[in-house]
Every structure is written in C-alpha cells, then in structure tokens.
Amino acid sequence: MKPLPQSIQKLYPFAHHYLEVEGGRLHYLDEGEGDREAVLMLHGNPTWSFFYRNLVLGLSDSFRCFAPDHIGCGLSDKPQDYPYRLINHIENVLKLVESLQLDRFHLVVHDWGGPIGFGLATRMPEKILSLTVLNTAAFLAGVMPLSLQVCRVPLLGDILVRGLNLFARPALTMATAQPLPQDVKAGYLFPYDSWRNRVATLRFVQDIPMNQSHPSYPVLRNIQVNLKKLKDKPMLLCWGLQDFVFTEKFLHEWTRRFPQAEVHRFPKAGHYLLEDAGEETIPSIREFLKHQSRAES
C-alpha cells in the first residue's frame, strides 16, 4: 500500500501496527496508555479504521483504543485468492485479541463489524465489558436493498464494484445525510483505488447470507442463537435513522433482544453515523464507557 497523503495523515494521525493472520498482514491502530481499559472498534464495508478516527481521538486520553482493518480493507493486505468469509474475519480478530492479551475489553461495532464483533463476543462473553452498536445487525435479516442485490450478480458485480468502484464511491453520498468534505472522501477511498484493492469490497457484499445454502448462513445463525450469552452486558445503541440499509427495523430488533440497552436515535444521520453526528455520538459513547468503568471499579 502506498503512503498516506499528507491530507489524510492530518485526519488519521496514528502509528501503524501489523499482525500476521490468515490472509497476510492485518493493520491495526493502538492508541492510548497500555494500562487503561481497552476499546476494540470493528468497521464494516466499504470503510476501514478511518471511520473510527475521531472516536479514537476522543477516547484515547482515557482508554486504550484498538481499531483493525479487516483483511482486504484499509491498510491491511488484500490477497486475491482469500475466502473473505465471515468466519475468516472473526478468526482474525480473535487472533488479534489473543496477541494483544486483552483480558477484558469494550466492543464498538458498525456495519459488518456487527456480525464479526458479535461472532467474537459470543465466543468469549466473559471478556466483554460493554457493547456499543452503531447501525448494524448480528442476526439474520431476510431483506436486502436492490442496490446490494445488483452488486451480487455474477460478472456484473465485478464490473460495478471492482471495475467502476460503484460501491465505495456512491457510499460517500448514499451512506451520509450531510455532504462529506473532500479530504474525508479521499480518506475513505484511499485504500480502494484499483481492481485488486477492491476485492474485499465485492466479497463482503457476496458474503451476505440470504438463504440456508450460503456458506456464512450457519455462522450468522449461530451468532444469532448465542446472542443470549450477552444479554446482561451493558449496551449502547446509537442509530442514524436515515440509513437506507440498516433501517429502524433493525434497531427495533436490537431493543427486542436487549431491552436493557441505552438507545440514542439521530434523526438527521445516515449509515455513516460518526460522520453525520459525530459531535453528538462521540461524547455519548465516551460517557457510556466511562460510566461502565466507574461501575466496574
């Protein structure tokens, strides 16, 4: 991966760390003092740890913040013959947690970070201090917007997503309710600048399990079944109500499964919640995490 342009480095002023996992080198952020409580942030598609840059800056004075780029994403390696299945991403994050020797940690998830993070959390509920959920799901949905369906059509999807970049680029306007500054747009697109580098962008779309014959269906179903292991964990739900994929229907499903959750709705925010409503969302997350820290002490 080529060096970050100075304009992006100003927005993303972090040291780079790498771990060898299945598929190659996994890039991750490690910001904050080592003896503080850990916060693990998992991104979705087509974003990368850049999505959490302001949250890391807002928390790293009080917490130790980790934010990996899934294999194929961000500054991580982008192998062309990798499976890119949900189980692969879960195993990679598990290896990261083990390598960092995280005994207990707070979990923050968005988009594909939801099933990946809850896949991790349901395996090790004893390590989870709290759960912060941003416009995502970790259960079988049964519905998919037409725009995503088109991207899954064989050959056509390759042309649209990998060839013409008609997933990451349209997301810059479709996933937000407010226009993004040009340097922020450049930051989101930076890792996905070629056919080869957009391989995971397509594979994530293809890996959405819509029926029982899909390889990731039993994995997601198992996560759904085991969500009950986390029923007593403190949870914060922050939701952009203008999300056309993870609509309020998904929020209702979360509150049904976790009625104790603290819920913050943001009517003027879309899928990229931390972009549209970061000035409101980040203080809410910070206060929630600090409250859990006080409750633990």
Please give the chain's pLDDT, 297 residues, in tens.
789 999 999 999 999 999 999 999 999 999 998 889 999 999 999 999 999 999 999 999 999 999 999 999 999 999 999 999 999 999 999 999 999 999 999 999 999 999 999 999 999 999 999 999 999 999 998 788 888 999 999 999 999 999 999 999 999 999 999 999 999 999 999 999 999 999 999 999 999 999 999 999 999 999 999 999 999 999 999 999 999 999 999 999 999 999 999 999 999 999 999 999 999 999 999 999 999 877 776
Would you say residue 5 lies in a domain? Answer: no
Would you say residue 45 lies in a domain? Answer: yes
Would you say residue 236 lies in a domain? Answer: yes
Would you say residue 11 lies in a domain? Answer: no
The helix (run of H) or strand (run of E) holding residue 256 is helix 248-257
- How far, in Å, are 36, 87, 220, 265 from residue 98 at the CA level? 17, 16, 22, 34
Would you say residue 3 lies in a domain? Answer: no
CATH number at residue 243: 3.40.50.1820
In angstroms, the CA 150 to CA 26 distance is 30
Alpha carbon 214 to its chain's center:
22
Would you say residue 37 lies in a domain? Answer: yes
Helix residue ranges per DSSP H, 110-175 = 113-121, 146-151, 156-157, 168-174
In angstroms, the CA 180 to CA 171 distance is 11
Would you say residue 12 lies in a domain? Answer: no
Would you say residue 48 lies in a domain? Answer: yes
| CB neighbourhood size of 87 (10 A) | 17
In angstroms, the CA 256 to CA 235 distance is 13
- Residue 182 makes CB contacts below 8 A (sequence gap 6+) with none
Alpha carbon 49 to its chain's center:
8
pTM of the model: 0.97
CB 148 within 8 A of CB 205: yes
Domain count, the chain: 1
Query: What is the extent of the structural domain holding 78?
Result: 17-296
